[in-house]
Chains A and B, each alone.
Chain A
Amino acid sequence: MLGGLTRRVAYEEKIRTEKQGVLIVDSGDLFFAPSSEANSEKDLAKARLISRAYKHMGAAAINVGDLDLLQGVDFLRSEYSQGLPLISANLLNPSTKAPIFSPYVIRQAGGVRVAFFGLLPSEFPPGAGIAIKNANEGKILIKDPVEAARETVQKLKGQADLIVLLSDLGLYKDQTIAQAVPGIHFILGGHEGRFMKKSQQAGTTHILQSSVKGMYVGQLRLVFENPTSHFKDEGEPQQIQEKINALDLHLRSLQGAKERPAGQSMDNIDRAIQDVTKQKNALQEELQRAQNSVFQRNRFLFTLEPMEVRLPEDETVRKWISEAGIDKD
């Protein structure tokens, strides 16, 4: 069992008290499951609790995902008016064509100006799509995400040191945006809820996702030195080392097979040993390069922290849930 709002709040608050320059963000689809039924009192009560907990934690930015519209945009408007930092650069008011929520926010962290902007898909998923359309008839207009990204990044130039897109578009569209709109340092994505231990790079942008259902908290540690240089993945040397270790194991098993020949010809085993050794040597050179390139550059390390049930819970949030009379999802 992993996850739980009370554990997540306790965990994130603990980190915030221990470290400086911590910002809490969400990429969207925070409030409702795809199966959420229209005007469900229980789902709305749960969503209000989540909103309250994120305000309690002092969240920096929360992107509006398509599923967040399942109970209608008015629910989100109400939470926004009560201080929830919702953002979306492409969710517009159909009458005025102006964004319903802030298109972006700029937060200071350790003297660095970090800009977050948000995007949601212009097409809804087959299942929940009808419910989203019904709940928002005539109330929303979704602009093309690439166009909205281009305009927003243009506005942010000179205003921020670091640009982060909180995206509910999915990995494929995130890659498209990263290629089409240079200048985005990171895309913290979602929509599919992938478990990504390693970042995907598109152009100079790194794309990451942090699984589903609050089971993990993605921790993106950034060491920022030079405003003009790109970010290097500090986890890369470790990933290469893991590959080398796997090849070492393979080599040992091949050498064992050579000592106890059973069916395979010696020539085949020798050839396999040569191939694996060649791969290992190439990886060792790559490791050396990766270790050198990480030195003295902007760098990042992404980890997914499991929210295990043994972690402490936030008593305040637990009390709120209990007072709301909710004991299961």
Chain B
Amino acid sequence: MKYSINYFGDDLRILNEEVDSLKTKLPILSNRHRNVILWVKKIGALLLVFLILASSPFFNQVAEGKETEILLLHTNNVTGHLFPCPT
């Protein structure tokens, strides 16, 4: 297929017209709105980093000051006994 300069020129013109029409349909973002979106993006990124770190072994260590209860159930010298024994 052979393309002419005019062919691309027409495409660019159509594209510009579509962009202009979209600009009229959609509200233009103010600087304040852009800053809010940027801030939300940054918070999101920080949250993601926090979640990754929280699941890492380093952060899984016991935090000082936080009480944790563990119960160990222990036997020794059962020596093959399946049934109750006289005390």
Chain A positions within 8 Å of B, measured between CB atoms, are: 1-5, 7-8, 12, 15, 19, 21-34, 36, 43, 46-47, 49-50, 65, 67, 109-114, 161-162, 164, 168, 188-193, 208-228, 307, 309, 321, 326, 328-329
Contact = CB atoms under 8 A, between A and B. Distances in A.
Given A1-B84, A19-B71, A22-B71, 17 more contacts: A2-B85, A3-B84, A4-B82, A5-B83, A12-B73, A27-B75, A29-B77, A31-B80, A46-B82, A65-B77, A112-B62, A113-B61, A212-B79, A223-B67, A224-B69, A224-B70, A228-B64
Contacts of A30: 75, 78-80
Q: Main secondary structure on chain B at its contact with chain A?
A: loop
Interface in B38-87: 60-62, 64-87
Given A26-B74, A67-B79, A220-B74, A21 B68 contact: yes
Interface of B: 60-62, 64-87
B75 A214 contact: yes
Contacts, number: 184
Nearest to A193: B77
Given A23-B72, A224-B62, A224-B68, A50 B78 contact: yes
A240 B81 CA distance: 36
A60 to B, nearest CB: 8
Nearest to B61: A161
Nearest to B71: A22
A224 B79 CA distance: 32
Given A111-B62, A112-B68, A23 B76 contact: no
A223 B80 contact: no
